[in-house]
Every structure is written in structure tokens, then in C-alpha cells.
Amino acid sequence: MNILHVLSGDFVSGSETSTAALVTEQARKGHQVFIASGSFSQPTRAQVLQVPIYNRGFFHRILNVLALRRIIERESIDVVHAHSRAASWVAHWACRLTGTAFLSTLHGRQHLHFSSRGFNIYGPRCIAVCEDIREQMLQETALFQPEQLTVIRNGISLKSHK
């Protein structure tokens, strides 16, 4: 399977470290893995593609949607996995253009505003890294039914990298 992870950060975060652990397992199992992000500093077996997802201006978001669409088509991506609200927004539209499967992981409490309370950019299935984040999304938005949100704790590698 060809998997594309999309991150918005241009700094090291929990979503980056847990994505690195997830990528390690996916690559170990024989999947072809790509990461689209403004930066990615963790050691990884994925091919990192520089896309400034962190740039949230409307014009840049459109350019990022088109960049992800090109990556999805060029690399024959089977599933896109977004790891932040900005990454989910861009991935949502790129996947709608290409018909690609899509899901998001919520790594922290979401800063909700009018459009994010009623318009689902996270995909039909979503992962929350803890029960509190899952409950926030169920109580403060109308985006999900309980069966659409699954709690899976962030994975980290406890092995030393020598």
C-alpha cells in the first residue's frame, strides 16, 4: 500500500514523533510511505516531500491542495493520513479531487471555530490519541457519531537509535 502522511508543523511536535514511529512500522511491513510537511526532523524511512502546509493563507492552501493532488496521483497513493487541523483541511480537498481514502489523527485538543464545528474536514473515520480529545469532538462539534472516533494512543519507539 502507498501511504501519504500530511503534517502542518514547521517544528518538532508530538504528531511528528508519533508519525515517525508509525512510518517505521508501516515501512517494516512493506508499505511505501511518504510524508508531506513543511519540515520533518525525525529519522524516517519515508520519503519526505516539502510542502508548506503550515502556511494557512487561502492562496497557499489552494496551492497545497494542488501539490498534494500531484503527489497522490504521481505516487499512486492509496490512503492519506493527516495529523493536524491544517493538514486535514488540505488533505480533505486533495482527496475529494482524487477519490483517495482519507483519515485524520487528532493529537491534541482542537481549537474550534464556526466552520470546524459543522463541517467535517477530518474524514469519515478519525483517530483521537486519548479519551479527552475524543470527548471534546463528540461534545463540542456535530462532526462525528461515536463509532467514527477511535482512541489509539500515540506510538513511540522505546528502542535506542544507535
Range of the domain at 43: 2-151
Residues 50-97 have pLDDT tens digits of 999 999 889 999 999 999 999 999 999 999 999 988 899 999 999 999
Task: Tell me whether residue 160 is in a domain.
Answer: no
| Cα-only R_g, the chain | 15
Would you state the cell numbers that stand for residue 10, as one nine-digit string?
514547521
Domain count across the chain: 1
What's at 112, amino acid-wise? L
Task: Tell me whether residue 161 is in a domain.
Answer: no
Residues with Cβ within 8 Å of 103's Cβ and at least 6 positions away in sequence, in order, are 79, 80, 81, 82, 122, 123, 124, 125, 126, 127
Task: Tell me whether residue 75 is in a domain.
Answer: yes
Indicate which CATH number applies to the domain containing 144.
Answer: 3.40.50.2000
Task: Tell me whether residue 43 is in a domain.
Answer: yes
pTM for this one?
A: 0.87
Look up cell 493527516; give the residue: 82
